[in-house]
Amino acid sequence: MVLAGNHTAQALNAHGAGDCGHESCGVCRNDPSWTPAARCEVVVCDKDAARRINIVDNRAADLGTYDFEALADPRRPG
């Protein structure tokens, strides 16, 4: 069960391996050999702890912001 990063997992599954065919894809960079991958941590916990992890992950996203200037910087690695 994915407790945090559900959207990342969904995006990787939706994209699939290889070049997705979208022009200038920021995910695979149109590399036909690209393999979907994400950091993963496995924890063993009870349902209550799992619920708390999920709530904190969602709340952290609510409180977060984006640095649009940095994201738009063409010198930004990525």
Q: How far is the CB of 58 from Zn ion (least distance, A)?
A: 26
Radius of gyration, CA atoms only, the chain: 16
Paired tokens of 51: 């619920």
Q: How far is the CB of 74 from Zn ion (least distance, A)?
A: 19
Selected binder of Zn ion within 4, 9, 20, 50 (CB under 5 A): 20
Please identify, among the stretches 4-12, 20-28, 41-49, 63-71, the one whose residues bind Zn ion according to the rule CB under 5 A: 20-28
Q: Which candidate, 34, 31, 40, places its Cα nearest to that of 17?
A: 34
Q: Does 12 bind Zn ion (CB under 5 A)?
A: no
Residue 17 neighbours by CB under 8 Å, 6+ apart: 34, 35, 36
Please identify, among the stretches 25-33, 37-45, 47-55, 67-75, the one whose residues bind Zn ion according to the rule CB under 5 A: 25-33
